[in-house]
C-alpha cells in the first residue's frame, strides 16, 4: 500500500447505509480539496451480514442526487488488521463504537470515536440508522456526513495525526 498522509475508516453496523454514505461524501470532499491521493478512505461494518453487497439503493439514490457516487463501494466487515491500517476509525453510533472498542487491541495508537464528535455544534451526536426509515432519514445521514466531512478535512489538513 502506498504511503498516505493518513487513513480513515467509517463504521456502522452492516456497511450498507451510513458508513458507505459517509465514505462517499468524504471521498468527494477530499477530492474537491486536492487531498484524495493523500488520504486512504474506506468503510466497514461491525457485522458481516451484507458482505460484498452494494450500498442500500435508497442511500445510493439520495447520494447521487447530491452528486456523490457510491457505486464502487461494497460492504465488508471490520477485521483486526484495520486497527493497524487506519489512523482514524469513526463509528456512526454508540452501539458500533462499543463493538469496535471490544475489538480494539491495546496497541492501537489511532483515534477511535464517534464521527459526530468532530462536530461539537452538530444537531445529533449519533448518525441514526436510516434502514427502516424513509428517504428523509437518508437525507439526514447525508446532512450529517457533509458536516462531519468538512470538519475532518480541516483536522487532517491542520494535523493528520489523530488525537489519542
For 158, other C-beta atoms within 10 Å of its C-beta total 8
Q: Annotated catalytic, 18?
A: yes
Q: Annotated catalytic, 143?
A: no
Grid cell, residue 82, equals 484495520
In the β-sheet with 88-91, what is the strand arrangement from edge to edge? 39-45, 6-12, 88-91, 111-114
Estimate to the nearest angstrom the gap between the alpha carbon of 141 and the chain centroid: 11
Helix (H, G, I), strand (E, B) or coil at 31: helix
For 136, other C-beta atoms within 10 Å of its C-beta total 9
What is the spatial distance between Cα 26 and Cα 73, in angstroms, rounded to a whole number?
13
Catalytic residue among 18, 27, 56, 93: 18
Look up residue 49 and give its DSSP letter.
T
Q: Annotated catalytic, 129?
A: yes
Catalytic residue among 82, 87, 93, 129: 129
What is the spatial distance between Cα 90 and Cα 81, in angstroms, rounded to a whole number?
16
Catalytic residue among 6, 12, 17, 27: 12
Q: Which residues are catalytic?
A: 12, 18, 129
Amino acid at each position: 500500500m502506498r504511503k498516505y498522509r493518513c487513513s480513515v475508516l467509517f463504521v456502522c453496523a452492516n456497511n450498507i447505509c451510513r458508513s458507505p454514505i459517509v465514505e462517499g461524501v468524504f471521498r468527494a470532499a477530499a477530492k474537491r480539496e486536492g487531498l484524495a491521493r493523500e488520504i486512504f478512505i474506506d468503510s466497514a461494518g461491525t457485522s458481516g451480514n451484507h458482505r460484498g453487497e452494494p450500498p442500500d439503493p435508497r442511500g445510493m439514490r439520495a447520494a447521487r442526487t447530491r452528486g456523490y457516487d457510491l457505486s464502487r463501494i461494497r460492504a465488508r466487515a471490520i477485521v483486526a488488521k484495520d486497527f493497524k491500517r487506519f489512523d482514524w476509525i469513526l463509528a456512526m453510533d454508540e452501539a458500533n463504537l462499543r463493538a469496535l472498542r471490544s475489538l480494539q487491541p491495546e496497541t492501537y495508537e489511532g483515534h477511535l470515536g464517534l464521527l459526530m464528535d468532530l462536530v461539537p455544534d452538530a444537531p445529533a451526536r449519533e448518525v441514526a440508522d436510516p434502514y427502516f426509515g424513509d428517504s428523509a432519514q437518508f437525507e439526514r445521514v447525508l446532512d450529517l456526513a457533509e458536516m462531519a466531512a468538512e470538519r475532518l478535512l480541516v483536522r487532517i489538513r491542520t494535523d493528520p495525526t489523530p488525537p489519542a
